[in-house]
């Protein structure tokens, strides 16, 4: 047997669970999962409450945000600031300006999970305006690795689940235990280098027909016809769903919290 075949055969596989309880964590998630909003930038994502009283989310969700608000499922709006962040692992910790008194999601102490383990996430995908977080169910499909800007190797869960823009920062929850085993980072939306170059060219095109647009903060800006086309294409790409996404590992989350003086 070839070496690569042996390695594949040795990957631990989880047996399918015989349960219809995928939504059983909703009673906790509805209180502990928050919509993260950057109003001036018109962007946002999802975050969840840690037992420390802080909110865990993805770094890219709050990167460059000049103002951050947390919106609960009950409509409470709490301003927050970035307490710590890590670009390499795509993790961030937010400090609410006022205490959030509700159930927190526990982080798994276990680091190894079998491919096929059923997981859920609760969050606020783009285009959804409801108050309660939405449920998405899937399986751990495997592990991937990327090289960070600093040169270190960062492992990520590959998850067979419907992750969309806005789900970033949400908890990846072990269906049976209710523990967080990862943090939703991104969905897989492949794009060729040629298409990337074309989109970049459109975004840089400032000549030709232009019109005045209003930014999320109310200020005005001039946008060219080419930039409008680029924006539409980027929006369409963001809506493509291959039902595969990435999530930061719980072990990286625990290490991140410890580095910043927070007991996981």
> What is the reported pLDDT for 15?
41
Structure tokens at 242: 């291959």
pLDDT digits 0-9 by tens, 74-130: 899 999 999 999 999 999 999 999 999 999 999 999 888 999 999 999 999 988 889
Residue 38 has pLDDT above 80, yes or no: yes
Query: Angle 225-239/193-204 helices, nearest 10 degrees?
Result: 140
SS3 of residue 7 by DSSP: helix
pLDDT band for 189, please (50, 70, 90 cuts).
low
Contact of 220 with 214, CB cutoff 8 Å: yes
Alpha-carbon distance of 158 to 184, in angstroms, equals 10
Of 3-7, 81-85, 182-186, the poorest mean pLDDT is in: 3-7
Residue 240 has pLDDT above 60, yes or no: no
Alpha-carbon distance of 174 to 244, in angstroms, equals 17
Alpha-carbon distance of 37 to 77, in angstroms, equals 10
Which whole number is the average pLDDT over 184-198? Answer: 68
Which whole number is the average pLDDT over 175-201? Answer: 76
> What is the reported pLDDT for 226?
65
**Exposed, middle or buried, 110 (CB in 10 Å: 0-12/13-18/19+)?**
exposed
Please give the residue that has the higher pLDDT: either 191 or 177: 177
Give the global pTM.
0.76
Residue 8 has pLDDT above 70, yes or no: no
Average pLDDT, whole number, for the chain? 82
pLDDT digits 0-9 by tens, 125-163: 988 889 999 999 999 999 988 888 778 899 999 999 888
Domains observed in the chain:
20-188+240-259 (2.40.10.120), 193-227 (no CATH)
Structure tokens at 59: 């770094």
Note the residue count of the chain.
Answer: 264
Percent of the chain whose pLDDT exceeds 70: 73
């Amino acid at each position: 047997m070839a070496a690569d075949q042996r390695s594949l055969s040795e990957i631990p596989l989880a047996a399918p669970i015989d349960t219809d309880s995928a939504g059983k964590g909703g009673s906790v998630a509805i209180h502990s999962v928050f919509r993260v909003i950057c109003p001036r930038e018109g962007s946002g994502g999802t975050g969840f409450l840690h037992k420390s009283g802080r909110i865990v989310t993805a770094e890219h969700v709050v990167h460059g945000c000049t103002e951050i608000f947390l919106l609960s499922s009950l409509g409470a709006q709490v301003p927050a600031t970035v307490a710590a962040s890590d670009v390499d692992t795509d993790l961030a910790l937010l400090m609410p300006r006022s205490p959030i008194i509700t159930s927190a999601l526990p982080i798994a102490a276990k680091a190894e999970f079998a491919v096929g383990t059923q997981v859920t996430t609760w969050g606020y995908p783009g285009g959804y305006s409801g108050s309660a977080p939405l449920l998405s169910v899937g399986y751990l499909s495997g592990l991937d690795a990327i090289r960070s800007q600093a040169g270190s190797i960062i492992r990520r869960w590959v998850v067979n689940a419907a992750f969309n823009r806005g789900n970033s920062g949400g908890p990846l929850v072990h269906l049976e235990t209710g523990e967080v085993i990862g943090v939703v980072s991104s969905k897989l939306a492949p794009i060729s280098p040629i298409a990337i170059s074309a989109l970049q060219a459109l975004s840089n095109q400032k000549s030709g027909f232009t019109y005045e647009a209003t930014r999320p903060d109310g200020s005005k800006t001039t946008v060219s016809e080419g930039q409008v086309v680029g924006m539409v294409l980027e929006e369409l790409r963001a809506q493509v769903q291959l039902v595969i996404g990435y999530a930061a590992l719980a072990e990286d989350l625990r290490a991140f919290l410890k580095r910043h003086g927070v007991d996981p």
